[in-house]
Amino acid sequence: MVTRCYLCGGKTELKTVTAENWWGEKLILVENVPAWVCQDCGEQYFDAGVCQQLDQLRQSPPATRRTVRVPVYSFPAKSPAASGNSEE
Ligand SMILES: [Zn+2]
């Protein structure tokens, strides 16, 4: 149970979300996952038991419910963050 957001300190509430997981190179979505969601920044936190269930899902995935297409974008090449401390 997470009552306060670790990032911004905002209040969280228990909601049902769609969890995004990377299984290696593969992105999968799990619907109807209970999560503590920050009311301010939207950060999601999962209880230990929920994380375990997500792990178990990865070990033995059930039948796929449906498949969605996900658009992929590239971050602009010249980012201020990357040019700040070059080590070369
Ligand atoms: Zn927050």
pTM of the predicted protein model:
0.75
Domain boundaries of the chain, sorted by first residue? 1-68
Q: How far is the CA of 43 from the centre of ligand 1 (A)?
A: 5
Predicted local confidence at residue 77, as pLDDT = 81
Q: Tell me the CA–centroid distance for residue 44 and ligand 1, in Å.
A: 8
Ligand 1 centroid, distance to 37 Cα (angstroms): 8
Please state which CATH number belongs to domain 1-68.
3.10.20.860
Distances (CA, A) of 62 to 18, 29, 41: 16, 12, 32
pLDDT tens per residue across all 88 residues of the chain: 899 999 999 999 999 999 999 999 999 999 999 999 999 999 999 999 999 999 999 999 999 999 999 999 999 987 666 555 555 5
